Amino acid sequence: MSGNPIKATIPLDEDGEHHGFLRLPYSRDDSAWGSVMIPITVIKNGAGPTALLTGANHGDEYEGPIALMELATSLKAGDIEGRVIIVPAMNYPAFRAGRRTSPIDRGNMNRSFPGSPSGTVTEKIADYFTNVLLPEANVVLDFHSGGKTLDFVPFASAHVLENEDQQAACVAAVEAFNAPYSMMLLEIDNVGMYDTTVEDQGKIFVTTELGGGGSSTATSNAIAKKGVRNVLKHTGIMRGELEIGPSKMLDMPDGDCFVFCQDDGMFEAMKNLGEPVEKNEVVARVWPVDRTGRLPIEYRARRSGLLVSRHFPGLIKSGDCLAVVGVEV
């Protein structure tokens, strides 16, 4: 064992439905011997594969926590063969604060892997996943959305992996999730990501971007709820037929998919999410906020495709991701 201070208040390997906490000791001004209490549900029935399901890896992304809170209340041991481990809010302090990162240590969970048993609160949570929960899992589903600063067309995604068999298994699980879009995702910066740790352990991994803006919609929540059940059915943990609708395959072949802002100002979208864009077409304009009579700065797509992501807030800064263009396969 890793020497991680987190202890589960419920058994992780007993049949039945168990609702409890991952208790992380955290001594502080308002609670000398206090703890961070991260909600967890484990549902198990006999032998069979284990699914590890997580939301709020970033605390301001809501489809995952909603779908997983719902699943934890509705899924019964008799519905499955195997085990389902549900952690609706992985970065629980960030989730409670409605923020992307932890208010305790400013930790971005998805840049804190593989973590450390003697590190910050965020690093300790990451280490617990790396060394305790992930080794138990066969299939791993981690929900994301854009949070307060990005918005996405709803997609489930896999990464290009060195191991072709593992990549094919991940793609099959993404197709089973059956979001309106299925994406081969290129990461800007994959160091410290949960995704990388999961994939390095050889697991079948599905991640998502289901919306954004710091809230969720009836539509995006329905995609999440259907997707998680489809993945459980796909892996044979849950009985029943997959619910499959149309899904467009998208790819991000290289860094030309991203458009980054080089100005501070007011963001004017010139394309909607899901709309086709041509190379060099204006996707957004950035207006000066401090004077009239000056033209906005135009930002153009660097390749043709579909607008799959955009900056969300009304104001934008130099360095912000302004738009992402995906390519239909």
Smallest separation, CB 31 to Zn ion (Å): 28
Q: For residues 17 and 61, which CB has a smaller minimum distance to Zn ion in the complex?
A: 61
Smallest separation, CB 38 to Zn ion (Å): 17
- Using CB under 5 A as the binding criterion, the count of chain residues that bind Zn ion stands at 3
Say how far apart CA 286 and CA 296 lie, in whole Å: 5
What's the gap between Cα 156 and its chain centre?
9
Q: Which of residues 60-79 bind Zn ion (CB under 5 A)?
A: 61
Smallest separation, CB 147 to Zn ion (Å): 6
Q: For residues 61 and 127, which CB has a smaller minimum distance to Zn ion in the complex?
A: 61
Smallest separation, CB 146 to Zn ion (Å): 8
Question: Could you tell me the CA-to-CA distances from 276 to 209, 267, 283, 298, 320 in Å, in that order?
Answer: 19, 20, 10, 18, 22
Question: Could you tell me the CA-to-CA distances from 5 to 31, 95, 120, 278 in Å, in that order?
Answer: 17, 21, 12, 52
Say how far apart CA 39 and CA 58 lie, in whole Å: 15
Smallest separation, CB 324 to Zn ion (Å): 14
Using CB under 5 A, which of the segments 50-58, 111-119, 270-278, 279-287 binds Zn ion? Answer: 50-58
Q: Is residue 25 within 8 Å of 13, Cβ to Cβ?
A: no
Using CB under 5 A, which of the segments 57-65, 129-137, 155-163, 264-272 binds Zn ion? Answer: 57-65
- Token pair 């609670």 in the structure block, residue: 31
DSSP bridge pairs for 204: 139
* Single residue of 18, 58, 99, 159 touching Zn ion by CB under 5 A: 58
Smallest separation, CB 57 to Zn ion (Å): 6
Q: For residues 18 and 58, which CB has a smaller minimum distance to Zn ion in the complex?
A: 58
Smallest separation, CB 100 to Zn ion (Å): 7
Q: For residues 113 and 299, which CB has a smaller minimum distance to Zn ion in the complex?
A: 113
The two tokens of residue 172 are 């099959």
- Token pair 């796909």 in the structure block, residue: 234
Q: For residues 214 and 305, which CB has a smaller minimum distance to Zn ion in the complex?
A: 214
- The burial of 143, by beta-carbon neighbours within 10 Å (0-12 exposed, 13-18 middle, 19 or more buried), is given as buried
Smallest separation, CB 211 to Zn ion (Å): 11
Q: For residues 63 and 127, which CB has a smaller minimum distance to Zn ion in the complex?
A: 63
Say how far apart CA 313 and CA 100 lie, in whole Å: 15
Q: How many C-beta atoms lie closer than 10 Å to residue 194's C-beta?
A: 26
In the shown chain, the binding pattern of residues 119 to 158 toward Zn ion, with x for contact by CB under 5 A and - for none, equals -------------------------x--------------
Among 309, 256, 250, residue whose Cα is nearest residue 284: 309
Please give the helix or strand (H or E) that residue 40 lies within, else none.
strand 35-45
Q: Which of residues 191-210 bind Zn ion (CB under 5 A)?
A: none
Q: For residues 17 and 60, which CB has a smaller minimum distance to Zn ion in the complex?
A: 60
Q: For residues 18 and 311, which CB has a smaller minimum distance to Zn ion in the complex?
A: 311
Phi, psi dihedrals of residue 224, rounded to the nearest 5°? -65, -45
Chain contacts with Zn ion (rule: CB under 5 A): 58, 61, 144
